[in-house]
């Protein structure tokens, strides 16, 4: 098994591509050891010193470090991923569920059409680009022209995430949805 690695815009996060599907649908963000209990692979990765977060996408695994040097951490991470795939164990434990509040969204019913357009733009134009950087972004709410988004994986805590939100995503949404005045992280 050959696992590729890619740098992300976040220097604290590295993207691992196992060459096999990771998740069939959606993404799974495990920013803490407690959240990792839902995945045997994530638990194994959190056993590696300085691992501070694990994120699963459709074909990649992003690992975020708290401290330490990638040169020393990378072999252990590659070994854990390889051992997991060779074992045939499931990626997500049977019966594991998304964390509570994961799908909570807020917006006024009168804004339903605007929110549908915002969600479509995020789904078709923003999420694919963000996934390429080892992360994900999801719609959380809309109120009085302000769009609230949640950044996950490599994007969470990334030094350039503010620029991504305010210059990239905000400009895109303002262009297509004139009611949007600002984009904020949750």
pLDDT one digit per residue (tens) for the chain, 186 residues: 799 999 988 889 999 999 998 988 888 999 999 999 999 999 999 999 999 999 999 899 999 999 999 999 999 999 999 999 999 888 988 765 544 445 688 999 999 999 999 999 998 888 888 887 787 888 999 999 999 988 887 777 666 767 777 778 888 899 999 999 998 888
Place of tokens 């040097």: 69
If asked whether residues 50 and 113 sit together in one domain, one would say no
Look-up: residue for tokens 């590659």? 78
**Within a domain: residue 153?**
yes
**171 and 132 in one domain?**
yes
17 lies in the same domain as 72: yes
DSSP one-letter string for 93-153: -TT--PPTTTT--B--GGGHHHHHHHHHHIIIIIHHHHHHTTEEEEEEEEETTEEEEEEEE
Domain span holding position 13: 4-87
Q: Is residue 99 part of a domain?
A: no
Angle, CA 153 vertex, CA 115 and CA 39 arms, to 5°: 110
Q: Look up the pTM and report it.
A: 0.76
Instruction: Flag whether 170 is in a domain.
Output: yes
């Amino acid at each position: 098994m050959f696992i590729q690695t890619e740098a992300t815009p976040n220097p604290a996060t590295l993207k691992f591509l196992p060459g096999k599907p990771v998740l069939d649908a959606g993404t799974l963000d495990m920013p803490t050891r407690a959240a990792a209990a839902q995945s045997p692979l994530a638990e194994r990765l959190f056993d590696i010193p300085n691992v501070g977060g694990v994120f699963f996408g459709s074909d990649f695994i992003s690992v975020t470090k708290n401290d330490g040097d990638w040169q020393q951490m990378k072999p252990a991470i590659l070994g854990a991923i390889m051992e997991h795939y060779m074992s045939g164990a499931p990626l997500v434990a049977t019966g594991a569920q998304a964390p509570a509040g994961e799908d909570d969204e807020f917006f006024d019913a009168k804004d339903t059409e605007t929110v549908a357009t915002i969600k479509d733009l995020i789904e078709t134009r923003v999420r694919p680009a963000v996934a390429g950087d080892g992360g994900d972004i999801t719609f959380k709410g809309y109120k009085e022209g302000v769009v609230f988004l949640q950044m996950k994986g490599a994007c969470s805590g990334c030094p350039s995430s503010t620029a991504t939100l305010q210059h990239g995503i905000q400009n895109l949404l303002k262009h297509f949805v004139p009611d949007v005045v600002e984009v904020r992280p949750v």
